[in-house]
Chains A and B, each alone.
Chain A
């Protein structure tokens, strides 16, 4: 038997107050994989990601990191293993790029112990990997959307974690910048990082994911390699969208082509 994955959610119930988003949800994050989570709006993708990052304690069940419940591990210790790029972050007005990226170093710092040298190296490496080194002294508010997104990713990279979770890293970007971000994530994945991203575009998901998680209404409806699970039937059930699935002529990954703009409504 091969060893269990480092990070997984085991039968978790996730809720905000009285609003229960997911019940008895189990999902695994394959080590070294590029996991993509897709699903209709409000089905609980961000909620799952927040639970995996220890931001939302499960009402029942547990999130397990390295064989132990994540809730029993110190927040900073978890933050040295798992990085998160939330769906919306706030750039403090007037902050310089390198200063924002440096804030990702927080889990490695404490009042008494702080390695300036290691911080500097990690920040420089993160900015180089995302191609924002030249922007180091620029003010974040004044950057273009694509540049700003790369800066946020750099902040998550400066955290220097083996696992990185990204919530809709391509939303609000034009197609060229979307591909740029996805290629960056794919490169990080090839260099050994475990990547988990929430994406909206099924074709991009199919193309970049090694492991696809399809969610609907708080449940994992399907998971596995995109080519194995992305079928016309699944897409019409989950998104209520009749479509044609054929091999992408460029990559061979499944290509989803909607048949009609008219939606049949969500699954019952």
Chain B
């Protein structure tokens, strides 16, 4: 094993332990505080009273959702960034979240404001947007830069359309839609978290199966094809998986920005690794969303939606990225 791989393995272990540690702390935080020892007792079933109810039924869904959704968003970002070979080529930048919002708004406007309508609308909206961006960018195979430019254009158009829809909705319906649109994982219980987590868990092995193909595509289409990869079908499958991950998360929790943009890049910098490391991105994404959600709940004077915190943190990251790029180009 060479030095770069050793570094990556050590980092993955550290990130995994940090995520578990933070999860135990998070499960103890709230109006009924618990020590890590009490949390572990509740989790292992040694403690079955009120503490068990608080930890397992009330707090665990939110923590599990933060870890799993964060990981899913980060992997989605890693897949897209790796395909486009561009740190900006993440699903939120090329319009998937905005398209999910459009889908949710359309569903709310015409089908009613149930969770199923928003969720279903968001899922379809995200996937349709992904298909649209791919179709528009495709010409002799979707090339990275074109995908991003087309995606940014589609995002802008959908954004305008979303505002238009919001204006036309009745006030209370618009409020519901806007709350969803802020992106929050706090309103999710096991009944909603369960199906989403199962769906994501079903996609995970497919991502693992696609990983060698992704590594080949990083070498350029001709080298990958010369190694016997079916270039365009593989690219399409990876795009579909990435779009599916983001769409499922967005359908359940609303748009949560910047995890998919920042986590893969930070993971790459930390591992100093080739392109975007999938596992390290996933671990960092879960950790990041959990941390952002804790900030949203406890560190602010009033509790805020998780999406608002990731936007602020992500904005800071984007400024940092741009300053670095500007320095590098000077």
Is the pair B222, A50 in contact by a Cβ cutoff of 8 Å?
A: yes
0 or 1 for each of A142-169: is its CB under 8 Å from B? (1 = yes): 0000000000000110010000000000
- Min CB distance A217 to B, Å, is 22
The stretch from B36-44, B109-117, B223-231, B285-293 touching chain A is B223-231
A75 and B223 contact, Cβ closer than 8 Å, known pairs A93-B274, A106-B216, A136-B2: no
A90 to B216, CA, bound (A): 10
Measured between beta carbons, the chain A residues less than 8 angstroms from B140 are 16-17
Measured between beta carbons, the chain A residues less than 8 angstroms from B328 are none
Is the pair A55, B226 in contact by a Cβ cutoff of 8 Å?
A: yes
B199 at the interface (CB under 8 A from A): no
A84 to B220, CA, bound (A): 12
B215 at the interface (CB under 8 A from A): yes
A137 to B5, CA, bound (A): 10
A95 at the interface (CB under 8 A from B): yes
Is the pair B229, A92 in contact by a Cβ cutoff of 8 Å?
A: no
Q: Which residues from 202 to 230 on chain A have a C-beta closer than 8 Å to any C-beta of chain B? A: none
A103 to B228, CA, bound (A): 11
Pick the contact of A86 from B216, B226, B230 — CB < 8 Å?
B226
- Min CB distance B265 to A, Å, is 12
A96 at the interface (CB under 8 A from B): yes
- Min CB distance B209 to A, Å, is 6
Nearest-CB residue, chain A, relative to B218: A92
B4 at the interface (CB under 8 A from A): yes
Chain A interfacial residues counted at CB < 8 A? 42
Measured between beta carbons, the chain A residues less than 8 angstroms from B274 are 92-96, 99
Nearest-CB residue, chain A, relative to B213: A106
0 or 1 for each of A93-133: is its CB under 8 Å from B? (1 = yes): 11110110001101101010000000000000000000000
Is the pair A103, B219 in contact by a Cβ cutoff of 8 Å?
A: yes
B272 at the interface (CB under 8 A from A): yes
- Min CB distance B58 to A, Å, is 41
Is the pair A84, B2 in contact by a Cβ cutoff of 8 Å?
A: no
Interface size class of chain B, counting residues whose CB lies under 8 Å from the partner chain:
20 to 34
0 or 1 for each of B230-269: is its CB under 8 Å from A? (1 = yes): 1000000000000000000000000000000000000010
Measured between beta carbons, the chain B residues less than 8 angstroms from A83 are 226
A159 to B226, CA, bound (A): 10
A89 at the interface (CB under 8 A from B): yes
Measured between beta carbons, the chain A residues less than 8 angstroms from B53 are none
Q: Which residues from 87 to 122 on chain B have a C-beta closer than 8 Å to any C-beta of chain A? A: none
Nearest-CB residue, chain A, relative to B269: A94
A89 and B2 contact, Cβ closer than 8 Å, known pairs A106-B216, A106-B227: no
B212 at the interface (CB under 8 A from A): yes
A72 at the interface (CB under 8 A from B): no
A109 and B222 contact, Cβ closer than 8 Å, known pairs A80-B228, A94-B272, A136-B2: no
Measured between beta carbons, the chain A residues less than 8 angstroms from B219 are 89-92, 103
A196 to B129, CA, bound (A): 44
Is the pair B228, A90 in contact by a Cβ cutoff of 8 Å?
A: no
A76 at the interface (CB under 8 A from B): yes
Measured between beta carbons, the chain A residues less than 8 angstroms from B230 are 75
A86 to B273, CA, bound (A): 24
Measured between beta carbons, the chain A residues less than 8 angstroms from B273 are 94
A260 at the interface (CB under 8 A from B): no
A28 at the interface (CB under 8 A from B): no
> What would be 29 A-B contacts, judged by CB atoms less than 8 Å apart?
A17-B140, A50-B222, A53-B225, A54-B225, A55-B225, A77-B228, A79-B227, A79-B228, A85-B223, A85-B226, A89-B222, A90-B85, A91-B219, A92-B215, A92-B219, A92-B275, A94-B4, A94-B274, A95-B274, A96-B2, A96-B4, A99-B2, A99-B4, A99-B5, A103-B227, A104-B227, A106-B228, A107-B228, A156-B226
Known contacts A17-B140, A90-B85, A99-B2; 4 further A-B pairs (Cβ under 8 A)? A55-B222, A82-B226, A89-B219, A90-B220
